[in-house]
Structure formats: structure tokens, C-alpha cells
């Protein structure tokens, strides 16, 4: 009964450091995506994937990389963290043919100092 | 670029009151989804509407989709403290690229 699992829950980084936010789903969903949520801005799409080996950019991709080597995992990499990347990050997954199957993880709170 | 406007931004009411929140789009929705997000949690899908004029009910929540598919409303009857949360609307677009509004933060006081 795991659904979408994100790690870590909380992280503090120094400017310039790199890190990876992990996202895993156990529902065999084809579609996975990363969003960031900032006060007054709603959720904005960073990157998404429609299947293993296929990724594409969303609305705010700069400063982030993704890869999708397996159906289950979709990690988000911050190459050189900046204070502007302080945010709450959500991973989501859904299957390819049922519009109502979307699930979000519980979020990763990232602070860049 | 599609813009989704939600109103009101904040709403604080007493338990037992009724309320309506709104979502308006600058362009026609592909499909419209409503989510509820509780503090410290991810959004949870409440409903998806696709057809103009569609009405869906989920217990005390009633969702309406405008005939022109550019607006929607969420009505809650006899609100309870458990209804407290951030209500988000989103356009499904191609369904793996959601566009979200900024949300309505609802507080239901006991």
C-alpha cells in the first residue's frame, strides 16, 4: 500500500551543492512527473516522463535533471542548488489510460541556504 | 499559456455553513480536476469532469462544469472541520501535464 514514495522528506542544502530527490511508485504507472509548489504560485510542472527511457521538460525545468531507467523510479537531480530552488517538491504518477488514477507523493521540503 | 484563476483565495467559515469556490480559465479546459491538499501532504484527486454542463457529487461536495468548459465551481454543504485544506483546480491538458490554479485555502472552524 505504498503508492508514491518520496525521499527525503526534508533537506537543507548549501548553495552550489547537488542532490537527488527520489520518487518511486509501485502501481506500474507509465506516467510520472515532478512539480514544485511555492507560496502564491500553485504547483508548476518541472519534468515528466511517459515511460521508461522517455523524459521531457515542463514549465520550469532549468536547474533540474531527470532520468527514467525503470518504470518504478523517477529521480529529480539538482545539479548546483540555488536559493530560488527552495520549495516543496511533489512527485506524481498515473497510468496511461485512466484519467482518474493520478497519485501524488507526500512531498519533499527543500531549503537552499 | 493557459491561466487558471481560483476565487476566493482564502475562506474561513463556521462548521455547518455552506460555501462555493470557483475556478476560471483563460481558455477551454481539456478536462478539469479538483484536488484537496491537507497541510504537509500531497494533493488528492477529488473529481474529474470532462463534459460541459456536467455535475458530479461526492457526498457533501458538488462539482459543476460550465457549459462552455471555461469555468467550474465546487460547492460544499454543511462544511465540517475535516473539509479544511487547500482546494486546487487543474486542467488535465494531455493528462500528464497538469496546469494548476493557485488554490483556495479553506478553514472550517468548529
Residue B22 has pLDDT above 90, yes or no: yes
Element (DSSP H or E) covering residue A87: strand A87-94
Residue A24 has pLDDT above 80, yes or no: yes
For chain A, say whether B95 makes contact (Cβ under 8 Å): yes
Q: What is the pLDDT of residue A1?
A: 54
Chain segment A46-102, per-residue pLDDT in tens: 999 999 999 999 999 999 999 999 999 999 999 999 999 999 999 999 988 887 889
**Beta-carbon separation of B88 and A58 below 8 A:** no
Cα-Cα-Cα-Cα dihedral sign, residues B101, A48, A57, A81: positive
A 13-72 residues with CB < 8 A to B:
31, 33, 35, 40-45, 48, 50, 58
Q: What is the pLDDT of residue B74?
A: 98
Chain segment B24-72, per-residue pLDDT in tens: 999 998 889 999 999 999 999 999 998 999 999 999 999 999 999 999 9
Q: Determine contact, residues A3/A26, Cβ cutoff 8 Å.
A: yes
Q: Determine contact, residues B38/B54, Cβ cutoff 8 Å.
A: no
Q: What is the pLDDT of residue B5?
A: 96
Distance from CA of A18 to the nearest CA of B (A): 24
- Of residues B3 and B24, more confidence is placed in B24
Q: What is the pLDDT of residue A100?
A: 82
Among A40-44, B45-49, B59-63, B75-79, the least confident range: A40-44
**Beta-carbon separation of A99 and B31 below 8 A:** yes
Average of pLDDT values for B80-84?
A: 96
Q: How far is CA A20 from the centre of its chain?
A: 10
Residue B95 has pLDDT above 60, yes or no: no
**Beta-carbon separation of A40 and B43 below 8 A:** no
Q: What is the pLDDT of residue B86?
A: 96
Residues paired with A32 in a beta bridge: A49, A93
Q: Determine contact, residues A106/A88, Cβ cutoff 8 Å.
A: no
Average of pLDDT values for B89-109?
A: 88
Confidence class of residue B73 from pLDDT cuts 50, 70 and 90?
Answer: very high
The rounded distance, in Å, linking the Cα atoms of A96 and A29 is 7
Residue A107 has pLDDT above 90, yes or no: yes
Residue B94 has pLDDT above 70, yes or no: no
Amino acid at each position: 500500500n505504498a503508492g508514491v514514495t518520496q525521499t527525503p522528506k526534508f533537506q537543507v542544502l548549501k548553495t552550489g551543492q547537488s542532490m537527488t530527490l527520489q520518487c518511486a511508485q509501485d502501481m506500474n504507472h507509465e506516467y510520472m512527473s515532478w512539480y514544485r509548489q511555492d507560496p502564491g504560485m500553485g504547483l508548476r510542472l518541472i519534468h515528466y516522463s511517459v515511460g521508461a527511457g522517455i523524459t521531457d521538460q515542463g514549465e520550469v525545468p532549468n536547474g533540474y535533471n531527470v532520468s527514467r531507467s525503470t518504470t518504478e523510479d523517477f529521480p529529480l537531480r539538482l545539479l548546483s542548488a540555488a536559493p530560488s530552488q527552495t520549495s516543496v517538491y511533489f512527485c506524481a504518477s498515473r497510468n496511461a489510460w485512466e484519467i482518474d488514477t493520478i497519485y501524488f507523493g507526500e512531498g519533499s521540503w527543500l531549503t537552499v541556504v | 499559456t493557459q491561466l487558471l484563476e481560483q476565487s476566493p483565495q482564502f475562506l474561513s467559515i463556521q462548521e455547518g455553513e455552506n460555501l462555493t469556490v470557483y475556478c476560471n480559465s483563460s481558455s477551454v479546459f481539456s478536462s478539469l480536476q479538483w484536488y484537496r491538499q491537507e497541510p504537509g501532504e500531497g494533493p488528492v484527486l477529488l473529481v474529474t469532469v470532462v463534459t460541459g454542463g456536467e455535475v458530479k457529487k461526492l457526498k457533501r461536495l458538488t462539482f459543476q462544469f460550465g457549459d462552455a468548459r471555461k469555468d467550474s465551481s465546487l460547492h460544499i454543504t454543511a462544511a465540517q472541520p475535516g473539509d479544511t485544506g487547500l482546494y486546487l483546480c487543474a486542467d488535465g491538458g494531455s493528462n500528464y501535464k497538469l496546469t494548476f490554479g493557485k488554490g483556495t485555502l479553506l478553514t472550517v472552524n468548529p
